């Protein structure tokens, strides 16, 4: 067995042994740090929602004050969502390109940077769940509740057992498509026509980014999954972790393909209608100017 593989298997066994002791001994300093980051993340995103977003939105977009109370709640929620997506997305790119430990051992590589990023996302998800339940009439959505709970279940294995850091980090890259999706809603609620240049530019960007971070990366993701399937490192992952990893990945990518189809069709229709409106009217002799 390759030395890095043996090291990964040994590290995986150590992680499992340490995780079994969590309920019997005090948390180690790094686990305390991760917990602190999660709590700080939760409080920060609550502060961004209740204080920063309303204050900033009133000054950047005059149309914000004309929104209904429900629209303002969703506006602030999407503002926070955009900030979170950019923060963790940039962190993901750095980890993907510069963290050699998880690239060499995607199952049991040193999860330090990934744990920090996942802890930030965990705080955000819990914060968003609280807001969804509290403002259910404005932003309540059963799909998002299921999505958030499923993500938290999967992140438990990353934070609690230190497993699958490469795959957890790779999944978070999908957050890069969130800002464009939110911006589409901002334009719609502010009354921008679908054929307006800002809306069209955002629509094209949304389709391109969504394809790049959710569809084009599938071969890379599943090739790494296939490469570790059946190895000793793979069998150290408990059944719950495998279900959270494999089943959730397949289900999520089925939805991603469906969403990509809808986004591509919508983008094509808008661009086609805009091109037809710009086409010059034919003359009586059938020629155009």
Region 29-45: what's the mean pLDDT? 94
CB 187 within 8 A of CB 202: yes
This prediction has a pTM of 0.85
pLDDT at 283: 53
* Closest CA relative to residue 184, chosen from 270, 93, 87, 125: 270
Beta-sheet strands, E only, within the chain: none
Judged against a pLDDT cut of 70, whether residue 49 lies above it is answered with yes
Residue 73 near residue 134, CB atoms below 8 Å: no
Closest CA to 90 of 26, 176, 190, 192: 176
Higher pLDDT among residues 228 and 276, named by residue: 228
pLDDT band, residue 195 (cuts 50/70/90): confident
Nearest to 228 by CA among 160, 161, 166, 157: 166
Structure tokens at 260: 């990509």
User: How far is residue 197's CA from residue 201's CA, in Å, rounded to a whole number?
Assistant: 6
Tokens of 114: 């990934």
Model pLDDT, residue 24: 46
Computed over every residue of the chain, the mean pLDDT equals 87
Which string of b and e fits 69-93 if b means at least 16 CB within 10 Å?
Answer: eeebbbbbbbbbbbbbbebbbebbe
Reported residue count of the chain is 289
pLDDT tens, 142-189?
988 988 998 999 999 999 999 999 999 999 999 999 999 999 999 999
Residue 274 has pLDDT above 90, yes or no: no
* 3-class DSSP assignment, residue 22: coil
Chain segment 82-103, per-residue pLDDT in tens: 999 999 999 999 999 999 999 9
The domain ranges of the chain are 3-276
Closest-CA residue to 169 (of 105, 237, 88, 226) = 88
Q: Is 286 left (phi over 0), alpha (psi -120 to 50) or beta?
A: left
Who wins on pLDDT, 40 or 255?
40
Angle at 77 between CA 197 and CA 250, to 5 degrees: 85
């Amino acid at each position: 067995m390759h030395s890095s593989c043996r090291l990964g298997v040994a590290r995986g066994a150590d992680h499992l042994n340490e995780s079994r002791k969590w309920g019997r001994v005090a948390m180690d300093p790094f686990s305390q740090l991760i917990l602190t980051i999660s709590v700080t993340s939760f409080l920060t995103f609550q502060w961004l929602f209740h204080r920063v977003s309303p204050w900033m939105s009133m000054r950047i977009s005059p149309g914000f004050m004309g929104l209904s109370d429900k629209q303002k709640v969703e506006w602030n929620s999407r503002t926070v969502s955009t900030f979170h997506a950019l923060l963790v997305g940039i962190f993901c790119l750095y980890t993907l390109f510069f963290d050699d430990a998880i690239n060499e051992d995607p199952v049991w590589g040193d999860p330090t940077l990934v744990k920090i990023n996942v802890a930030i996302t965990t705080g955000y998800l819990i914060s968003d769940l609280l807001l969804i339940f509290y403002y259910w009439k404005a932003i309540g959505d059963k799909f998002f509740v299921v999505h958030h709970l499923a993500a938290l279940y999967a992140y438990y294995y990353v934070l609690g057992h230190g497993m699958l850091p490469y795959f957890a980090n790779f999944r978070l890259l999908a957050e890069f498509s969130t800002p464009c999706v939110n911006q589409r809603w901002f334009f719609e609620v502010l009354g921008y026509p679908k054929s307006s240049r800002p809306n069209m530019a955002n629509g094209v960007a949304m389709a391109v980014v969504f394809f790049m971070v959710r569809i084009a990366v599938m071969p890379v993701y599943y090739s790494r999954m296939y490469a570790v399937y059946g190895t000793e490192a793979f069998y150290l992952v408990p059944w719950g972790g495998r279900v959270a990893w494999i089943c959730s990945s397949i289900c999520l990518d089925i939805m991603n393909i469906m969403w990509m189809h809808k986004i591509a069709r919508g983008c094509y229709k808008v661009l086609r209608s805009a091109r037809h409106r710009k086409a010059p009217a034919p003359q009586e002799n059938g020629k155009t100017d």
